[in-house]
Amino acid sequence: MLSYITRRLLIAVPVLLGITFITFAVLNLTPGDPIRMMLATEKITPDVAETLTEYYGLDRPWYVQYARYLGNLLRGDLGISITSRTDIASSIASRLPNTILLAVSSMFLALLIAVPVGIISATRRNSLADYTSLTAAMIGVSMPSYWLGLLLLLQFGLRWKILPIWGIGHLSDGLWDFISHLILPSVTLGTGLAALLTRLTRASVLEVLTQDFVRTARAKGLRERTVLYKHALRNALIPVITAAGLQLGYLLGGAVIVESIFSWPGLGRLTIQAIQKRDLPVIQTATLVFAVSFVLVTLLVDILYVFVDPRIRYD
C-alpha cells in the first residue's frame, strides 16, 4: 500500500514537470509581449518596462527563462502580477478557498440529487419515474452551464429578487447571507454533474443487481430492501464515488464560467480578469494551480479507492 502511494507520487513528478512546461510554453513561446503592450498604451514608463523585462528575464533565451521559472516555483515564488504589481501567491491563496468552496458545494448538491434519483430509476426500471429522470438527466448533460446560470440569475435574482446574484457571502453577516450567495452558483455548476452522476448511478445499480451475490442474497430469502441497501448499493456506489472524485477536478475548470457569471471571487474569475488584462504571469500561475490541484485530486481519489473497495490491491 505504502509502496503504491510512493509509486503514484513518483509518477506524478514527471507529469507535474510536463505541466509546468506546457504552461510555460503556452505563455512564453508565443508572440505578444505584455510589457511592450503596456508601454504602448502608456500604462508604464520605459524604465519601469526595462526593470520588468529584466525581472522576468524576458530578454533571455527560452530555456533560461524556463529554468528561472522552475527555480522560482520550487522556492515558492509565484511571481508578481504585471498589471497590479502584487504578489501572485497571495492573491491565489485568497481566492483558491472560494473556488474550492464552490466546487465542493456543487459536488454535494449533485450527489444529493444523483444518488437517490439514480437508485429509484434503476430499481423501477422502465417506469414513468425512470423515463422522467433519464430524460431530465439527458437534458441536464446537454444544457450549457453558462446558459442555465443566466436563466437562474434572471429568474431568481432579477425577477423574483429572492437570491443574491453577485459575489460571495460572509459568515459574519449571518448563515443565510453565506448560504444564499452560494445557491445560484452551486446549482449552475452542479446541475450538469448531477445529471451525469444520475446516469452513472442508474447504470451501476442495474449492473450490480445482475451479479451473483445479489441473486444469492435474494435466494436465501432476504427482504428486497436489505438486498438493495446492504448488498447491492455498497458495491454500486464505488464507481459513482470514483467518478465524482474525478469530476471534482473538472468542476474547478467549470468554475471559470460560473465565477464570471456570478462575480464569484475565485480562481476562475482571477484567470479571466488576467486574460482580459493580458497579465501573463497570473494566467500562467492560475493555470498551473488548476492543473496541479487536478493531479492531486486524481491521486487522492485513486488512493481512497483502495479503502472504499477492499477487493482492489495494488501490489
Contact residues for other proteins, defined by CB under 8 A? 14-15, 18-19, 22-23, 26-27, 30, 32, 138-139, 141-144, 146-147, 150-151, 153-154, 158-159, 249-250, 252-254, 256-257, 260-261, 271-272, 275, 278, 283-284, 287, 290-291, 294-295, 298
Please state the closest distance from residue 187 (CB atom) to other proteins, in A: 16
Cβ atoms of residues 134 and 218 within 8 Å: no
C-beta contacts of 127-133 below 8 A and 24+ residues apart: 130/202, 133/198, 133/202
Please state the closest distance from residue 112 (CB atom) to other proteins, in A: 23
Please state the closest distance from residue 41 (CB atom) to other proteins, in A: 17
Please say which residue, 179 or 272, places its beta carbon nearer to other proteins: 272
Please state the closest distance from residue 47 (CB atom) to other proteins, in A: 27
Please say which residue, 231 or 277, places its beta carbon nearer to other proteins: 277
Please state the closest distance from residue 45 (CB atom) to other proteins, in A: 26
Task: For 132-168, give the DSSP string.
Answer: HHHHHHHHHHHS-HHHHHHHHIIIIIIIS--S--SS-
Cβ atoms of residues 262 and 100 within 8 Å: no
Please state the closest distance from residue 54 (CB atom) to other proteins, in A: 22
Please state the closest distance from residue 93 (CB atom) to other proteins, in A: 19
Please say which residue, 14 or 61, places its beta carbon nearer to other proteins: 14
Give the dihedral sign, CA 300/111/108/194: positive
Please say which residue, 43 or 278, places its beta carbon nearer to other proteins: 278
Please state the closest distance from residue 175 (CB atom) to other proteins, in A: 29
Please say which residue, 231 or 293, places its beta carbon nearer to other proteins: 293
